[in-house]
Amino acid sequence: MKKVLYLLLTALVAVSCNQAGKIKISASIKGADTSDVILSRLDINKIVVLDTIRTDEKGKFEYKFDVRDKENPDFYYLSMDRHRFASLILKEGDKVKVFVDGDSLRIVNSGESELQSYVDRVMADDAASFDSMAESMIEAINDNDKKSVEDLQAKVTKLYVDHKRKMIRSIIANPYSLSNIPILYQKFNDSLPVFAQANDVVIYRRVYDSLNTVYPESPYVKALGTAISQYDNYNKLADKIKDVKQISFPELSLPDMDSRTRNLSAFAGKPFILLFWSASDPKQKMFNQDLKLLYDSYEKRGLRVYAVSLDEDKSLWASTVREQNLPWVNVCDGLGASSVAATTFNVTSLPTLFVFNGKGTIVAKNVFDMSQLKKIIKKAL
């Protein structure tokens, strides 16, 4: 009898050990009878396909697989017909249930996956609203409807700010959740990441410091730490952030032709011209030639120019800058009228020009007569 009990106990322990190293996914997908579902895993900078799972005639499946790391959760994705319908954060022993009905997704028995689902849903909804507003803004610009353009610019800015606040609240409320890492890399589109301002490194550091206490060996946490350490010096960057807060004009951080981020705050303490223009307008290209003469005359005395192209065609902009050999800071994010830069300075027509003195105060706007502009610049120096 004792021998039988011993064998039973041994068998139970063996089963328990085998299950402990596995993850179980149960799914019910409405309308996906006998369909192929792709299970994949994030590997830092690439996605690896793990298996193809076949649903039954009711659109259901159960699937068990081994974890690669018993100490740290991983990011997993479920896709069908090249469409990702669920992002999961799973660890050893998890038994998650996934219910899909059209665009509706419900996840049970995995708090991390539920939180990731919330983050994905908010990003998708806000990105859709952003795209809709951007299309409406383009139509308003083509119709020369300045009032609508101003209203849409305000709405786009509010949407961006509100979304960022929601994500920061999620980070603060769930400091030890791995879902905070994807939040840091969210984008409204390829040219508009949510967390890309200089002072956002503080958020990156907060996420890393919290996660490093619970998942110090996680490859995702390590990769985040490496990204942060790539800044020249964190303390120096923090000092720069403090300096940026003290400037008297709004910050702009936009990419130049070499994809380097150029900050408007680099001109703090110097007189400069902030120009919004379009390479598609011959008259504005002619103005560039006149501005070059003025710039050449006063550049050695400290004059700077920060030229923001509001073109959507970045190749056209880049070729124009090269052809005209424009010597100042030239930037473009490819968002056109939807650019945050245009919203920040309430740009409703092109070209738009601001002259700032060394104290960061706007001393003139939309002065395109070179003789008048020259007088203003001389006074601002």
Specify the CATH number for the domain of residue 92: 2.60.40.180
164 and 214 together in one domain: yes
Flag whether pLDDT at 241 surpasses 90.
no
196 and 150 together in one domain: yes
67 and 132 together in one domain: no
Q: What proportion of the chain, given as a percentage, has pLDDT over 70?
A: 90
| Boundary-marking domain end, from 81, 113, 145 | 113
Flag whether pLDDT at 129 surpasses 70.
yes
Is 14 part of a structural domain of the chain? no
DSSP state, 270? S
Q: Which two tokens stand for residue 97?
A: 């249930």
Q: How many whole angstroms separate alpha carbon 14 and alpha carbon 313?
A: 62
| Boundary-marking domain end, from 193, 210, 242 | 242
263 and 332 together in one domain: yes
Is 295 part of a structural domain of the chain? yes
262 and 353 together in one domain: yes
The pLDDT, as a whole number, for residue 146 is 83
The pLDDT, as a whole number, for residue 6 is 41
Is 10 part of a structural domain of the chain? no
Least confident piece of the model among 25-34, 155-164, 166-175: 155-164
> CB–CB of 157/149 below 8 Å?
no
314 and 350 together in one domain: yes
**Domain coverage including residue 228:** 125-242
Is 340 part of a structural domain of the chain? yes
Q: How many CB atoms lie within 10 A of CB 381?
A: 13
Q: How many whole angstroms separate alpha carbon 143 and alpha carbon 135?
A: 13
Q: Residue range 304-328: average pLDDT?
A: 95
Give residue 248's pLDDT band: very low, low, confident or very high (50, 70, 90): low
154 and 221 together in one domain: yes
Q: How many whole angstroms separate alpha carbon 309 and alpha carbon 330?
A: 8
Is 109 part of a structural domain of the chain? yes
- Rounded to 5 degrees, what are φ and ψ at 353? -130, 135
DSSP state, 120? H
285 and 345 together in one domain: yes
Max Cα-Cα span within the chain: 107
Specify the CATH number for the domain of residue 285: 3.40.30.10
Can you say whether residue 339 is alpha, beta or left, with left for phi > 0 and alpha for psi between -120 and 50 degrees? Answer: beta
198 and 134 together in one domain: yes
Using alpha carbons only, what angle is made at residue 90 by residues 70 and 67, rounded to the nearest 5 degrees?
A: 35
46 and 139 together in one domain: no
172 sits in which H/E element: helix 146-173
| Boundary-marking domain end, from 175, 208, 242 | 242
Instruction: Quote the mean pLDDT of the chain.
Output: 87
Beta-carbon contacts of residue 85 (< 8 Å; ≥ 6 apart): 29, 78, 79, 100, 105
Q: Which two tokens stand for residue 305?
A: 């120019």
Give residue 239's pLDDT band: very low, low, confident or very high (50, 70, 90): low
Total tally of structural domains belonging to the chain: 3
> CB–CB of 88/78 below 8 Å?
yes
155 and 228 together in one domain: yes
Is 329 part of a structural domain of the chain? yes
Flag whether pLDDT at 83 surpasses 50.
yes
Q: Residue range 356-366: average pLDDT?
A: 91
DSSP state, 117? H
**What is the gyration radius of the CA atoms in the chain, in angstroms?**
27
Among candidate residues 133, 135, 126, 123, the one with its CA nearest the CA of residue 153: 133
36 and 78 together in one domain: yes
Q: Against a cut of 0.85, is the pTM above it?
A: no
